[in-house]
Amino acid sequence: MNDLANSPKPNENSAKAEERPARQRKPDWIRVRAPVSKGYHETRKLMRELNLNTVCEEAACPNIGECWTKKHATVMILGDVCTRACAFCNVKTGMPRAVDPMEPENTAVAAAKMGLEHIVITSVDRDDLPDGGAGQFVKVIEALRRNTPNTTIEILTPDFRGKMRPAVEAICEAGPDVYNHNLETVPRLYPTIRPGARYYASLRLLEEVKSHNPLIFTKSGIMLGLGEQRLEVHQVMDDMRSAEVDFITMGQYLQPTPKHAAVEEFVTPKAFNAYGSIARAKGFLQVASSPLTRSSYHAGDDFAVMKKAREDKLRKRDKLSV
């Protein structure tokens, strides 16, 4: 049969092209090289051997090449299927599988093999579980304390909708060094960007952490480029400070696939620097604001800076009270 007989007609090709959303061209300041290093492949192999998921892969993080080369990986517990469907997130949505009982120990093994001084643990949303998955966070923290007692622990949790207070209480009792929960965007955009969550419920979670244990550092982040206004970002900063959040991260939203929310604006590095200056003036102990900033990007270094900033602040306060 003639090959041309099976070829689509020209107008069919153009119709299909019109149906597909056009990919947005990224500016030079957020382009990154594909990961090819030996360290990257070693980290990937280790995650596979231990049956661990990472948000680095599942959320298509642009910094994966740099971080994995340095043997830094953010473990995503409670499986790789989320019960929510946020418009910005690349993680699969559906009915998750049963929780892996070996996940806590395997996470600790990974931390030991990579020689991590600081580890970040996050998860999918698990609205199907009675505790929202809080118990698994507790088990992971306990396993890390047993196996790698010198590793500082940062967790990035969901909002535990409908069971927030007991979930936060249990996790705080386990004693993470940093408790992160991202607000993600400004309140006005929640109905379209984060429809399964509530802005003020997330703020209350951050307040609850400080209420339960003021010594745990709290952290939260937002994405820019989704259509937010400058003054709305400033208000989010004020809301975070009212909740005594210690560390704010701000990074550029990147559209994972054409089906996800579109990028409304590629915010310039200069604008990110300006936002960072404003955040510092508002009293955050640590600020990370750049196009490629993500919740766990350089988290270990940022933790050291934040810890020192608190110590300096307490020293100054003690001097003034003498």
Q: Rounded to 5 degrees, what are φ and ψ at 95?
A: -95, 115
Query: What is the CB neighbour count within 10 angstroms for residue 85?
Result: 13
Inter-axis angle of helices 134-147 and 164-174, to 10 degrees? 0
Cα–chain center distance at 68: 16
The beta-strand segments (E) located in the chain are 53-54, 75-77, 81-82, 92-93, 118-123, 152-156, 178-180, 217-224, 247-252, 286-289
Residue 45, C-beta contacts closer than 8 angstroms, at least 6 positions apart: none
CA atoms within 13 A on the CB side of 77: 29
* First CA to last CA distance, the chain: 94
- Tell me the C-alpha distance between 285 and 288, whole Å: 11
Q: Which two tokens stand for residue 65?
A: 């090449």
Quick check: helix, strand or coil at residue 217?
A: strand
Annotated binding residue 86: yes
Query: What is the CB neighbour count within 10 angstroms for residue 81?
Result: 18
Alpha carbon separation from 2 to 7, 10, 285 (Å, rounded): 9, 17, 70
Annotated binding residue 61: yes
Q: Which two tokens stand for residue 106?
A: 């395997």
- Tell me the C-alpha distance between 259 and 33, whole Å: 24
Annotated binding residue 89: yes
Burial of 10 (0-12, 13-18, 19+ CB in 10 A): exposed
Q: Which residues are annotated as a binding site for [4Fe-4S] cluster?
A: 56, 61, 67, 82, 86, 89, 296
Q: Which residues are annotated as a binding site?
A: 56, 61, 67, 82, 86, 89, 296
